[in-house]
Amino acid sequence: MNQFGDLYSQYYDLLYSDKDYISEVKYVDSLIKANSKNTKTLLDMGCGTGKHAELFCETGYEVHGIDLSEGMLKIANQRREGKEDKLHFSHSNIQELNLNKNFDVVVSLFHVMSYQNSNSELIKAFEVAKNHLNNDGIFVFDFWYGPAVLTDLPTTRVKRLENENIKVTRIAEPVIYAKKNIVDVNYDIFIEDKVSNKIIEKKELHKMRYFFDTELEMICEKVGFKILNKFEWLSKKKPNFNSWNVVWIIKN
């Protein structure tokens, strides 16, 4: 990430400029209100650049976001201006997180749980969420849904974007490892500075795990969570073979 310098935040914001963060926060807020009462404090595990966290704060929550990427947190901390008493960020690996504080709700969005590739990482992430929840607190998380991934297999995709400063081309080439429930998404990213005409190339590997109901149900039982609801992301429909992205609401 240091390679990008100031270009990184431009690249990230441009890449996800079509992502409807406002609708996503409204949706998750509706799930929280439907499954819990008087929720005031929220922990965002894997907050990235803090856009969701900022919007949750503006919705009325006191929010603490954590992320492994210091570069992402640098951007997130810029969002605290005027909200210093209600919006906080800190650096941590999810598995090592210990804030010595409990929250009414924990959220983990944008497929953060799918980055927990091993069973031990996933179980520990669930345990950390549970340990940071108040009694009857809820955990809301989304993930890649196995039945849909195997129905509509990942394919090579090219995304091209630009603004007044930079031009971005991102090539995503997936490799699926069905026995491990993992998709290696290999990114080739080219960022052109329109002023200097300098082109920066970066390669990224995102190892994404897709999940099935039975394995997550087993982990919930092991950790001590009660499953409240399962939905296709941004809807109230039950997950099906077309639901690449699914959200679960589980209770402490």
Question: Where do the CATH 2.20.130.10 domains begin and end in the chain?
Answer: 148-209
CATH topology of domain 148-209: S-adenosyl-L-methionine-dependent methyltransferases (2.20.130)
109 within 8 A of 52, measured Cβ to Cβ: yes
Architecture (CATH level 2) of domain 7-145+211-251:
3-Layer(aba) Sandwich (3.40)
Residue 97 CA to residue 125 CA, distance in Å, equals: 9
Structure tokens at 70: 């210091």
Contacts of 238 (CB under 8 A, 6+ apart): 230, 231, 232
- Structural tokens at position 214: 């039975």
CB atoms closer than 10 angstroms to residue 17: 9
Q: Which are the contacts of 66, defined by CB distance < 8 A and separation ≥ 6?
A: 43, 44, 45, 46, 47, 89, 90, 91, 92, 94, 97, 99
Q: How confident is the prediction along the chain (252 residues), in pLDDT tens digits per residue?
A: 343 445 665 677 788 888 899 999 999 999 999 999 999 999 999 998 899 999 999 999 999 999 998 888 988 999 999 999 999 999 999 999 999 999 999 999 999 999 999 999 999 999 999 999 999 999 999 999 999 999 999 999 999 999 888 899 999 999 999 999 999 999 999 989 898 998 988 888 999 999 999 999 999 999 999 999 999 999 999 999 999 999 999 999
- pTM comes to 0.93
Q: In the chain, which residues fall in CATH 3.40.50.150?
A: 7-145+211-251
